[in-house]
Structure 1
């Protein structure tokens, strides 16, 4: 198989590994607040929102050291060991204890930083300028299939149930733990792509984060010599990239994706499950909502990623479409869902929305949230991989640092803010993030033109 073919296969394997892992983890995040409300134990005093806030807070801080970890052990092993910690967090729900719940939250936060930094590194070193958009779309679409399978099980298993029993919880989380482990072991199928380098290129293939990429660039899977230097170098580069003009502009868009990640992955599903007007099926609708989010994510990833070779509209129109899609969804949610739904007790909310609540409208909004999210994330992954190609691991670490710290903040205020205030925050940040992305894209185009001019 040619190096380009192996690189594409690596992207597909990477996507399937993440699909299995996040089938488990995203399903867990979508339902954990509802599950914990139904858990009857005087020894347990935990909040799903607080747990996710801890995860994303630690995730954010750990991104500063994640490039060093990836540099030392290589992206493949980094993803495998991170996956094991994800599985441990999910297994904790089989019999949750307060101390194990929050300890596991801290460990998953560390694992997430390493996992996503390694993912960004592998995605970049297996891509060229001409394939980065396609590969981003393939990975994103496969990843978002994770929203489908676990949530489908939740919808079927919880249909007609107003209370989640211990047996329901244990059966679900044992299954999710096994699925997560399968995803971790899939990472061992990623292959090393080693074309015969020219003598002048041999020294350039030592550092995975520094590799100058072409269609035949090697996918570095193991740690090269000089580990201490690499770790320190990766950390310094992450700090330097954080304050560049391009990254500061993109940081507003990235921050928005962190806020809306919190909303669609934890808050909105909980809000639907709290709507007593939806009857005995309200809890199972959390799963159906997750499926609709996943369909939107997959559709967006497919259109603007895998088909970008044929649908070349540029990044800005896709991000603008994502903003409009989200604004429509936010407005409908404002009209359709009661304001106290995110923080309602287990028995749900009895407040009235502005219109007669509709299941169909609620699920349409789930789709819009997923589709808009894919518009933002595929284009952000693409532009970060394009602008910081030679420093991919530090760049994606900064990306996840910004995104995760905003997700942590959002999960924290989700314990207290009513729905309409959360939607207002999203609208303001979405508008500012879109404007800043436009400027960053303009800078990227200008830099490309200057580079092409200098090479003449």
Structure 2
């Protein structure tokens, strides 16, 4: 296999591994709050929103240390062990207890920081200036297939169920745990790419994967490993203060807020609408599938066809904002204001229009499509701008995104739907403006030939 073919295969394996893990985890997040409301247990008193706030809060705090962990054990093992923590969180729902629920939330937050930092490192090292856009889109499209399979299973398993029984819950979460474990082991299929003759100076090719021989590994002393760890932490702190990252930070923050909304809050709202009929709970699965279809379409169009885009990244981000604004307006008209906080029995209230399942599912698709517009372009611009320091740069990306996601999960415990939509509208607008500035700065600091070849 050619060196470029090996890199492309690594990206495919990376995307498929993440697809399996997040088929389990995103499906878990989508149904989590609805499942918790159905528990018949006096030993479990917890909130899915609070759990997600803990996950993303710990995630954000761990991101500045994650590059050090990746530097010490390498991204391949880092992704494997982090994936195991995701599997443990999902397995906890088979026999849930309050203490284990929140403990698992802390652990998966740490694992998420390491997993995504290692992913960014693998993506950047297996990409060149001409392939970073394609590879970002390919990875994103494969990842978002995770929203199809798990949610389709939820729809089929819960169709016609007004209440989720213990047996229903256990069957679903055992299946999701096995799926997540498959994704963890797939990471061992990734191979170290051949060094590029034109690799950027200082690019850590040798640190990509732990495929060195045991003899080479034994030569590594603890002092060298911890020196790498400290250097990665210092680089992350320095990158956080750069003009490029500061310009991108508000746009990244918006992706954290809307991640909370589409991944958990909106599905909970759909399941709470009694006016959707007795299949409202199973519609959570269909909503997740529609989000996934939007994500896949966006990742394919704006990633795989990236070479056809000669106008830069800003038009794609603007399209994402407009798409989200349309979705927010339709949700405002279609979903009851108290839906995010409704009890298990749901809400009988209506918004400004007679609730429509078709409109609700269209909004799911638009949320996914708009999210892919933002994320594919952020992955592309960060991978291009910080190619020599990819692990710290992606750690900062996830640090900003996750701390805002944690904030959003926190306020989702008490804010009604309309207030949540208003926050998204304002931050989305400001984030898009700052992305335009970051894109213009990237154009001005790079040679036109380099930039246009992306």
Instruction: Identify the TM-score tier after normalising by the shorter chain.
Output: over 0.9
- 2:115 aligned residue: 115
Residues 322 and 375, structure 1, Cα contact 8 Å, conserved in 2: yes
Distance 2:180 2:114 in 1: 17
- 1:92 aligned residue: 92
How do residues 359-370 of structure 1 correspond to structure 2 at under 5 angstroms?
A: 359-370=357-368
1:229 deviates by 0.8
- 1:8 aligned residue: 8
Helix, strand or coil for the counterpart of 1:280? coil
Distance 1:256 1:247 in 2: 14
- 1:402 aligned residue: 400
Which one of the candidate residues 181, 201, 211 is aligned to 2:203?
Answer: 211
- 2:227 aligned residue: 229
How do residues 46-445 of structure 1 correspond to structure 2 at under 5 angstroms?
A: 46-195=46-195, 210-211=202-203, 220-222=208-210, 225=220, 226-445=224-443
In the TM superposition, what whole-angstrom CA distance separates every residue of 1:51-72 from its partner, at most 9, and x where no partner exists? 0000000000000100000000
Distance 1:108 1:62 in 2: 11
- 2:444 aligned residue: 446
Helix, strand or coil for the counterpart of 2:307? coil
Distance 1:313 1:303 in 2: 14
Residues 11 and 139, structure 1, Cα contact 8 Å, conserved in 2: yes
1:195 deviates by 4.6
Distance 2:193 2:140 in 1: 22
1:132 deviates by 0.0
Distance 1:368 1:3 in 2: 38
Helix, strand or coil for the counterpart of 2:277? helix
Count of aligned residue pairs for this structure pair: 441
1:220 deviates by 2.2
Helix, strand or coil for the counterpart of 1:332? helix
Distance 2:40 2:425 in 1: 37
Residues 292 and 367, structure 1, Cα contact 8 Å, conserved in 2: yes
1:279 deviates by 1.0
1:351 deviates by 1.4
Residues 125 and 219, structure 1, Cα contact 8 Å, conserved in 2: no
1:139 deviates by 0.2
Distance 1:47 1:415 in 2: 8
Residues 60 and 398, structure 2, Cα contact 8 Å, conserved in 1: yes
Structure 2: gaps of 5 or more residues: none
Moved over 2 A (4+): 194-198, 217-220, 222-225, 310-313, 449-453
- 2:41 aligned residue: 41
1:450 deviates by 8.4
Name the stretch that deviates more: 296-305 or 242-251: 242-251
Alignment root-mean-square deviation, CA? 1.7
Helix, strand or coil for the counterpart of 2:37? helix
Distance 2:369 2:449 in 1: 34
Helix, strand or coil for the counterpart of 2:446? helix
Distance 2:47 2:398 in 1: 24
Structure 1: gaps of 5 or more residues: none
Residues 121 and 208, structure 2, Cα contact 8 Å, conserved in 1: no
Residues 126 and 218, structure 1, Cα contact 8 Å, conserved in 2: no
When the two structures are superposed, what TM-score results if normalisation uses the length of structure 2? Answer: 0.95
Distance 2:450 2:85 in 1: 45
1:194 deviates by 2.7
